[in-house]
């Protein structure tokens, strides 16, 4: 069964303290690995898509990487406005258009 697992569930950082979020996946025929950001009371907002092992993408203080078993979201020198829940999702070959989501990592960055 296709599965996506994120860790840790929650992460508290001081402003400027870099860290990484992990997303482990078991998906048949991965067609894409996605990262979303979700703020309280809002729907998820798209961040990145990764398609093959070794691929990396960056946006401001965020960098996403992909291996054959997991993806990492690296946060460099975070700011309080980076506080949110980060969701990882996988699109497999047998899943038509649907995504399999992990449970998310809630990040809190303190000033």
Partner 1 sequence: GAGVSQSPSNKVTEKGKDVELRCDPISGHTALYWYRQSLGQGLEFLIYFQGNSAPDKSGLPSDRFSAERTGGSVSTLTIQRTQQEDSAVYLCASSLGLGGDGYTFGSGTRLTVV
Residues of this chain, 68-87, that bind partner 1 according to CB under 8 A: 87
Whose CA is closest to 85, among 72, 103, 71? 103
The answer to the question of residue 40 lying near partner 1 (CB under 8 A) is no
User: Between β-strands 10-14 and 105-110, what pairing exists: parallel, antiparallel or unpaired?
Assistant: parallel
The answer to the question of residue 11 lying near partner 1 (CB under 8 A) is no
Least distance in angstroms from the C-beta of 59 to partner 1: 13
Whose CA is closest to 13, among 71, 98, 86, 64? 86
Please give the Cα distance from 96 to 91 (Å, whole number): 8
The correct pick among 64, 73, 91, 107 for binding partner 1 (CB under 8 A) is 91
Residues that bind partner 1 (CB under 8 A): 4, 6, 31-32, 34, 41-46, 49, 87, 89, 91, 96-104
């Amino acid at each position: 069964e296709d599965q996506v697992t994120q860790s840790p569930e929650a992460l508290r950082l001081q402003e400027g303290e870099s860290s990484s979020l992990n997303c482990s996946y078991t998906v048949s025929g991965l067609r894409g690995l996605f990262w979303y950001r979700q703020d309280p009371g809002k729907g998820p907002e798209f961040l990145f898509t990764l398609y093959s092992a070794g691929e990396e993408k960056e946006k401001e203080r965020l960098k996403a990487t992909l291996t054959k078993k997991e993806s990492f979201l690296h946060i460099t020198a975070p700011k309080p406005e980076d506080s949110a829940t980060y969701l990882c999702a996988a699109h497999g070959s047998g899943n038509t258009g649907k995504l399999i989501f992990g449970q998310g990592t809630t990040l809190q960055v303190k000033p």
